[in-house]
Amino acid sequence: MKALPWAIAGALSVMSGSMPQAAEVTIFTSMGSLSGVTDLAAAYEKASGQKVVVAARIGPALPKALENNEPGDVIANFTPAFDALIREGKVVTGTPVQFARAGVGVAVKKGTPRPDIGTVEGFKQAMLKAKSIGYSKSGSGLIAAKALEKLGILDQVKDKVQYLERIPVAEFVAKGEVEIGMQQSNAIIPVAGADYAGPLPGDLQEYLYFSVGLLAISKRPEAARAFMTFMASPDAASHLRKSGMEPPGG
């Protein structure tokens, strides 16, 4: 039998005698951390035998699930969101831990030439030449807008910027509705019909950080904590990187 990674073995030892090995853990996640959570859940389930259900709650569906006390055990979300979740009594105080970060990348329609964005100047020229540019109004979209502002071209391109919400920006790119899209790299890579042209270059790149916390309504807190321990452990790094995320320290 293959030895368990230290984080899983240690977490499960805490659970022994208090929870059955087959305890099911449900984790809610936003679109921003969905890819990483999915890969981590699969790795943890394979190594530990603990069933993990990944419940994607995109956009307004996540706060609605929490408001309605939809059954669940763990929540993964943007790190800044957890202060409010604790104040509202949705997440147990002291449990949130940062587990991942994601940078912002560029998407183009599959089969079209990839712009040379390996340098800051190359990225600038690609933005100036693009017929349309898409990003969201929050999260990665704020980083995209800041990059254009740093380059001093935000006013020049503002008339061709489209604000895209609720579904991955790369899906609009794949349909040909926008020429260039900017979003978290891990939200671009899985989209069929879109190519990942690369990350924002140089000091234009910034990161969005994600944490995981124990839901106050969890009926399986020991099993949930064991999974959270794994998510924030060094053993999780290789699984996070599969889809374009990485540990908080890089």
All structural domains of the chain: 6-101+209-241 (3.40.190.10), 102-204 (3.40.190.10)
Identify the segments of the chain with pLDDT beneath 50.
1-4, 6, 12-20
Each residue of 131-157: pLDDT tens digit? 999 999 999 999 999 999 999 999 999
User: Which stretches does DSSP call E strand in 116-201?
Assistant: 133-135, 161-163, 180-184, 194-199
| 160-170 as b/e: b if 16+ CB within 10 A | bbeebeeebbb
Distances in Å between the Cα of 67 and the Cα atoms of 78, 85, 90, 165, 215 are: 17, 11, 9, 22, 12
Q: What span, in angstroms and rounded, lies between the C-alpha atoms of 111 and 105?
A: 18
